Amino acid sequence: MPQYRAPVDDTLFLLTDVLGFHARDNLAGFADASPDVVEAVLREGAKLAEEVLAPVNRVGDLEGCRREPDGSVRTPTGFKSAYDAYAKGGWMGLAVPEEFGGQGLPHTVNTAMQEFASGANLALGMYPGLTQGAMAALLVHGSDEQKALYLPKMVEGAWTGTMNLTEPHCGTDLGLLKTKAVPNGDGSYSLTGTKIFISAGEHDLAENIVHLVIARIEGAPAGTKGISLFVVPKFLVNPDGSLGARNGVSCGSLEHKMGIHGNATCVMNYDGATGWLVGQENRGLNAMFVMMNEARLAVGVQGLGQSEVAYQNAVAYAKERLQGRALTGAKAPDKAADPIIVHPDVRRTLMQIGAFNEAARALMLWTALQADILHRSEDAKERQTADDHLGLLTPVVKGVLTDRGFANAVEAQQLFGGHGYIEEWGMSQFVRDARIAMIYEGANGIQAMDLIGRKLPKDGGRAMMAFLGEVQTFLKDHGEDPAMAPFTQPLQAGLNDLQGAVMWLMQNAFSKPDNAGAGASDFMHLFGLVALGYMWARIAKAALARNAETASPRWEAKLTTGRFFMERMLPETALRLVRIKAGADTTMALADEAF
């Protein structure tokens, strides 16, 4: 039975020592998030993840969800009580303003908890995850009335949320959508259409489900400029907040998926369902983007969560499984064979996953902190910088953490040999579950295009210049420190590759956009490597400081792991740059028939 341990200590170290979280008292709500409070919250969250969410992960995979003939959906055994524990613990509203019943804590803390929840049980964690996304959209774009009506119940966990974008013929290209909204004359609309791949679209965990749905108001312009966002509750809500009649929305069927079986992925039929506009008419995509950006970061976090739980179980197996002898002589001569962790190729695998996870966690928290600055700072300039950062890094966190998160789950599974392929051992589930994160909320190819085509050139490249400048400043500040040399020198090389890629794109992609498209995925990964390398350099700096205070194997281990990243993983930037510079000519040369 696989185990999960939430990485609380590493998270606290990153917040406190690396990211200066507690020096952020200028941000609303941060003063309340003292070190003691944050630690207590995360330890409580870890307990929930480890003792309540993780134990029902495998049963969720085995049983999946079941649609009954009446269209209701039953979640797997144990999901309801685990969900209730999550809701009762106040986790849903951790970062929601207190006026709606939330705890008003920083989004950064909530992000740490999202990692724990999705590492422990991805399928279950998605129900609250989507609810948080829907709340984020309502907070920004909902009317006061809508906020008052929906948010308190969602914070309680009594109601959950969904996002309804995809239709059978349109996923990425939302301009094609057909779902229609006809004004009822009383301020409400009547929605008709079919949505697919709706996670948590129908289930038995909550009393009501608050669907956020994009649709086209009759007569609206074609394409993305005619899309509006609606709130469509499963049960209509009376003005006093009590539940009224069943709305005309139902689950037509459940999808049979590769993984996340415990989450109900629904085909949702809207048959004249009553909905209310959220935000402005025809500005739905804008409103939806709030939810999508939040969701994209959360999906990156899921990639890390699966990478972490797969890693932990691979470590445990590698210490226990006896097979062969160390190349340098028996390490456990009293046993029939050595534990496989003695083998360099096994260790290489573990180092690679571990070195990724630590830096990815730093990147995730650093980016989450920008969201807090954006929403809570009173300094306009600071807000703008944070907004730039958030826009630029969101596709990187989503794309890189899920691509590598999946690849790491596969590598961790590999250490189990044949047992990794047998479902009982649980490694297959991590791989199958992690796979979805590369796809939903914008497939990673779309993230790469968003980065290279939209975020990079935006405002004359201001966000990218700020990132490059920040890393360069760090390197200048620490370039003379010999203890930092194993980190700063490789990072400078990686940064040069990133700068080289940006330069090449400036010169070659504006005139010929295919050059951007053909290099998009490599650029996203090149950027991700440098961002992770920068995180490692900052971790190293903090670990050196702590080690100077009190020498400990814990800090030494961080420095070694960081060096591994610098020696073996960061140099991939050079390969990515070669590929980008190869341009689009060969990639685009074949006629369609030649494939």
- Kindly tell me which of 380 and 594 has the beta carbon lying closer to a copy of itself: 594
Structure-token pair, residue 420: 């990794």
List CB contacts of 239: < 8 A, sequence separation 6 or more.
none
- Kindly tell me which of 45 and 405 has the beta carbon lying closer to a copy of itself: 405
CB of 417 to a copy of itself, least distance (A): 5
Does the protein bind a copy of itself through residue 457 (CB under 8 A)? no
**Interface with a copy of itself in residues 247-306 (CB under 8 A):** 255-259
Structure-token pair, residue 384: 């703008």
Distance, C-alpha 105 to centroid of its chain: 19
Stretch that binds a copy of itself, among 70-78, 130-138, 234-242, 334-342 (CB under 8 A): 334-342
CB of 329 to a copy of itself, least distance (A): 10
**One residue of 12, 158, 243, 439 binding a copy of itself per CB under 8 A:** 439
- Kindly tell me which of 256 and 381 has the beta carbon lying closer to a copy of itself: 256
**Interface with a copy of itself in residues 175-194 (CB under 8 A):** 176
**Interface with a copy of itself in residues 419-438 (CB under 8 A):** 420-424, 428, 431-432, 435-436, 438
User: How far apart, in whole angstroms, are the C-alpha atoms of residue 487 and residue 510?
Assistant: 34
In this structure, are residues 466 and 458 in contact, taking their beta carbons and an 8 Å threshold? no
The CA distances from residue 363 to 42, 108, 536, in Å, are 18, 11, 10
CB of 331 to a copy of itself, least distance (A): 9
- Phi-psi category of 5—alpha, beta or left, where left has phi over 0 and alpha has psi -120 to 50? beta
**One residue of 55, 97, 171, 457 binding a copy of itself per CB under 8 A:** 171
In this structure, are residues 12 and 42 in contact, taking their beta carbons and an 8 Å threshold? yes
Does the protein bind a copy of itself through residue 334 (CB under 8 A)? no
CB of 588 to a copy of itself, least distance (A): 6
**One residue of 81, 172, 280, 473 binding a copy of itself per CB under 8 A:** 172
- Kindly tell me which of 287 and 518 has the beta carbon lying closer to a copy of itself: 518
Stretch that binds a copy of itself, among 33-41, 225-233, 243-251, 568-576 (CB under 8 A): 568-576
**Interface with a copy of itself in residues 115-154 (CB under 8 A):** none
Give the bridge partners for 276, in sequence order: 188, 231
Element (H, E) at 74: strand 73-74
Does the protein bind a copy of itself through residue 380 (CB under 8 A)? no
Structure-token pair, residue 221: 């312009």
Binding mask 533-562 for a copy of itself (x = CB under 8 A): --------------------xx--x--xx-
Q: At what angle do helices 427-437 and 380-414 cross, to 10 degrees?
A: 140
In this structure, are residues 203 and 65 in contact, taking their beta carbons and an 8 Å threshold? yes
Stretch that binds a copy of itself, among 8-16, 275-283, 335-343, 385-393 (CB under 8 A): 335-343
User: How far apart, in whole angstroms, are the C-alpha atoms of residue 295 and residue 437?
Assistant: 11
- Which residues in 471-496 are b (16+ Cβ under 10 Å) and which e? beebbeebeeeeebebbbebbbbbbe
In this structure, are residues 398 and 447 in contact, taking their beta carbons and an 8 Å threshold? yes
CB of 577 to a copy of itself, least distance (A): 10
In this structure, are residues 288 and 101 in contact, taking their beta carbons and an 8 Å threshold? no
Does the protein bind a copy of itself through residue 323 (CB under 8 A)? yes
- Kindly tell me which of 243 and 584 has the beta carbon lying closer to a copy of itself: 584
Does the protein bind a copy of itself through residue 354 (CB under 8 A)? yes
**Interface with a copy of itself in residues 387-416 (CB under 8 A):** 406, 410, 413-414
**Interface with a copy of itself in residues 471-510 (CB under 8 A):** none
| DSSP-assigned states of every residue in 439-478 | TSSS-HHHHHHIIIIIITTHHHHHHHHHHHHHHHHHHHHH
**One residue of 36, 144, 378, 592 binding a copy of itself per CB under 8 A:** 592
**One residue of 520, 531, 539, 542 binding a copy of itself per CB under 8 A:** 520
Stretch that binds a copy of itself, among 67-75, 207-215, 225-233, 566-574 (CB under 8 A): 566-574
In this structure, are residues 279 and 236 in contact, taking their beta carbons and an 8 Å threshold? no
List CB contacts of 267: < 8 A, sequence separation 6 or more.
194, 195, 196, 198, 201, 251, 252, 253, 254, 255
- Kindly tell me which of 279 and 583 has the beta carbon lying closer to a copy of itself: 583
The amino acid present at 173, given as its one-letter code, is D
Does the protein bind a copy of itself through residue 593 (CB under 8 A)? yes
**One residue of 241, 344, 469, 479 binding a copy of itself per CB under 8 A:** 344
List CB contacts of 577: < 8 A, sequence separation 6 or more.
497, 500, 501, 504, 522, 526
- Is 115 a known active-site residue? no
- Kindly tell me which of 374 and 484 has the beta carbon lying closer to a copy of itself: 484
Closest CA to 443 of 66, 171, 106, 189: 171
In this structure, are residues 17 and 93 in contact, taking their beta carbons and an 8 Å threshold? no
**Interface with a copy of itself in residues 13-42 (CB under 8 A):** none
Please pick, among 441, 549, 567, 572, the residue that the annotation labels catalytic.
441
Does the protein bind a copy of itself through residue 204 (CB under 8 A)? no
**One residue of 37, 170, 236, 466 binding a copy of itself per CB under 8 A:** 170
Stretch that binds a copy of itself, among 459-467, 495-503, 518-526, 530-538 (CB under 8 A): 518-526
CB of 440 to a copy of itself, least distance (A): 7
CB of 244 to a copy of itself, least distance (A): 33
* Dihedral Cα 83, 88, 89, 90, nearest 10 deg: 100
| Catalytic residue list | 441
